[in-house]
Structure 1
Amino acid sequence: MNQNYEESSKILKALADPNRLKIIDILSCGEECACTILEKFDFTQPTLSHHMKILMECGLVTSRKEGTWTKYSLDIAQANRSILALMQIITPTEDCICKSCNHEKNTECK
């Protein structure tokens, strides 16, 4: 399996923040307006915008405008792909990167 480590790293970094994890949890219930999300935190709107930008850049969250409001939703397909990618990293498989190394002869990994 060709693993996209850059993409996986970006997602893991985004999820490493407890506020962003909470946002993902909130959005797991369905689409929410930024103002509704903000009510659940003790920080400013620019801080929320920063968190949402990071979550959108890694593909976990999408947004749409509705008048003057921005509505956010979880991209379930991307979230599932991310979970599968992580599972492939931590699970030994036939096409695992460790299979491309010849550890017995102490040669370098490809």
Structure 2
Amino acid sequence: MSLTAKVASGQEKHLLFEVQPGSDSSAFWKVVVRVVCTKINKSSGIVEASRIMNLYQFIQLYKDITSQAAGVLAQSSTSEDPEENSSSVTSCQASFWMGRYTNA
């Protein structure tokens, strides 16, 4: 199980990343590719927010998420209740990010 999968298990929200169709067909794909990030409520299946990013923005977000996940797991390994720490901190960070940049 990956680092982010461990932290995301039991979360109410799910982030889905996909390449925007057609944006990767150019020889200059690193410049023109677009990644769509969608926040979905797992229990209802409702899309709560969406954002289109360029490759640089996606890589920065990926680094932020994996860094936060590593920090949460490290913190939870020293805590008496690891489930409480991982769910509350990660949910807050992802929701904050999606709330700032929502296009939908």
TM-score (norm 1): 0.29
Larger Rg: 1
TM-score (norm 2): 0.30
